[in-house]
Amino acid sequence: MPSRTLEQILEGRRSQPNQLIEVLQDVQASHGYISEEAMQAVSQGLGVPIMEVYRVASFYTAFRLKPSGKNVLTMCMGTACHVRGARLLMDQATGQLGVKPREVTPDGLFSVDHVNCLGACALGPIVTENGTYHHHMTPSKLRKLIDTLSRQKAED
Amino acid sequence: MLQQVNVNIDGANIRATRGTTVLDAAIEYGICIPHLCHVPYLSSISACRLCIVEHVVNGRSNVTASCTLNVEEGMVILTNTDKIRRLRRNLAELLVAQAPNSRAIQDIALRCGVKEVRYPFRNDDCVLCGRCVQMCTEVWKARAIGFVGRGKERHVDYPFGIRPDFCKQCGSCVQLCPMTIPPCDGPMKPGEEYLCRKCESQLMLADETPDHCVWCKLGESFGCGRYVGIKS
Ligand code: SF4
Ligand code: SF4
Ligand code: FES
Ligand code: FES
């Protein structure tokens, strides 16, 4: 992934406070998360008070303020998936990995996330693993998936 | 030149300056609309929703917050209908449930007719009124505090949770916070979810003349428009 430095992202957008969200999106896309330093740099570059940058970055779930794990498991918690038992999947993942939603395991291998609809409601409940969709998920399928992923990582 | 407009609030024909809000116009005229997050010299963010009124347009009424509704020629406003009273009481009840440990919140709840609270107590220390944030932003231009997170997680904080060196330590955020007024030692505790109503004798008036200004503690300490008017 061609990752751009903060300098490159801010290039041509300095002192344009209205670019805040776009810039944060770019930082998120190329760095995977938005660090405190990145927010400070964005604040200075765009001339937006740091409080404002932090407020916006902490408001949208699309922005992560901490690095994510190697494997990102995203549970769909939308209405359709919810009625089909997304809660159980979330409990399975958080229980098995011992983390809370939007947290990373201490070994940095997994992070568990939730979203409100992935647009594949008919196939729910949906879990995505690093962007790959798994449909009709059940707690036991999810347990196996997590087991496989942790074994893979242990091997390489 | 300041333009004047005619508005009708609760049947009273009021002349108000264009650009003022319905809430300010009503208070100036002597009609008290309960309000919590509004501070006379700060711009309103309509966070508490206590100041709701009915705005009648072509025979239909919209319920809306009066602190961000600007006066317009020919406007018809009702501040004291059954519907508004019911909604307002409910809003105040939720505020008390969220943060019962403040005299200011107790007063305003009583003022809105709350006698008992049907919701579980959360004992929070913030009602997210945003007064502190507006103060810091507009008066001190410090922007040292602001809202962080969303939904359940929304709270007031410093950037990254650490007091920045550009905080002027002026303390005005704390002064404006309704949570800093200690609660009376009457009930209003989990298990006894009702107001003792022994507060100030004045507040007893709330029973007899519901929805009139009772010169509440909240107004006094936070510069409600009426108190401010008297001082200046
Ligand atoms: S004490 Fe700091 S945070 Fe509070 S209003 Fe003053 S500058 Fe803002
Ligand atoms: S800290 Fe106080 S003034 Fe600030 S939002 Fe919370 S209750 Fe309101
Ligand atoms: S609710 Fe899960 S994909 Fe729509
Ligand atoms: S005073 Fe209008 S919403 Fe709080």
Task: Enter the ipTM.
Answer: 0.79
Q: Read off the pLDDT of each residue in B42-60 and give the average, rounded to a whole number.
A: 92
What distance in Å separates residue A6's CA from the closest CA in chain B?
A: 20
Tell me how close the Cα of B173 comes to any Cα of chain A, in angstroms: 15
Q: Is A154 on the interface with B (CB under 8 A)?
A: no
Looking at residue B223, its pLDDT comes to: 65
Mean pLDDT of B15-34: 89
Residues B213 and B219: beta-carbon distance below 8 Å: yes
Q: What is the pLDDT of residue A100?
A: 87
Per-residue model confidence as pLDDT tens digits over A56-81: 999 998 898 988 888 889 999 999 99
Mean model confidence pLDDT for chain A: 90
**Record: contact A51-B149, CB cut-off 8 A:** no
B176 or A2, which is more confident: B176
Residue B61 clears pLDDT 80, i.e. is over it: yes
Name the residue type at position B206.
A
* CATH superfamily for domain A71-155: Glutaredoxin (3.40.30.10)
The better pLDDT of the pair B69, B213 is held by: B69
- One-letter identity of residue A104: V
Least confident of A39-53, B29-43, B51-65: B29-43
Q: Is B225 in the pocket of ligand 2 (CB under 6 A)?
A: no
pLDDT number for residue A1: 46
Q: Which of B35, B132, B134, B136 to mutate to test the pocket of ligand 2 (most atoms within 8 A of CB)?
A: B132
Listed in order, strand segments (DSSP E) in chain A are 71-76, 103-104, 110-115, 127-129, 132-134
Q: Domain B4-80+200-228 is of which CATH architecture?
A: Roll (3.10)
Contacts of B176 (CB under 8 A, 6+ apart): B39, B131, B132, B135, B222
Q: Report the C-alpha gap between B133 and A71 in whole angstroms.
A: 38
Partner residue opposite B143 with nearest CB, options A52, A58, A61: A52
The C-alpha R_g of chain B, in whole angstroms, comes to: 18
- pLDDT score, position B191: 63
**CB-based contact A49 B143, cutoff 8 Å:** yes
Cα of A64 to nearest chain B Cα, Å: 12
Burial of A151 (0-12, 13-18, 19+ CB in 10 A): exposed
Per-residue pLDDT of B120-174, as tens digits, reads 888 788 999 999 999 999 999 999 999 999 888 899 999 999 999 999 999 989 9
Q: Are B33 and B111 in contact, with CB atoms under 8 Å apart?
A: no
Q: Which of B145, B148, B164 sits opposite A58 (nearest CB)?
A: B148
What gap in Å lies between CA A124 and CA A106, rounded to an integer? 29
pLDDT range class, residue B201, cuts 50, 70, 90? very low
Residue B71 near residue B21, CB atoms below 8 Å: yes
- Residues with Cβ within 8 Å of A117's Cβ and at least 6 positions away in sequence, in order, are A76, A78, A79, A80, A81
Interchain proximity A58–B145, CB inside 8 Å: no
Instruction: Write the pLDDT tens digit of every residue in A16-60.
Output: 999 999 999 999 998 989 999 999 999 999 999 999 999 999 999
Q: Which atom of ligand 2 is nearest to the CA of B131?
A: 3
Instruction: Choose among A2, A134, A117, A5: nearest CA to A72.
Output: A134
Closest residue, chain B, to A36 (C-alpha): B160
Structure tokens at B159: 């950037």
pLDDT, mean of residues A100-129? 89
Q: Which of residues 158-177 of B touch A (CB under 8 A)?
A: 158-160, 164
Determine the average pLDDT of the residues in B189-212: 58
The predicted pLDDT at position A152 comes to 81
Q: What pLDDT does B30 receive?
A: 81
B17 has a pLDDT exceeding 60: yes
Could you tell which of A88, A114, A118 is best to mutate to test the pocket of ligand 3, judged by most ligand atoms within 8 Å of the CB? A118
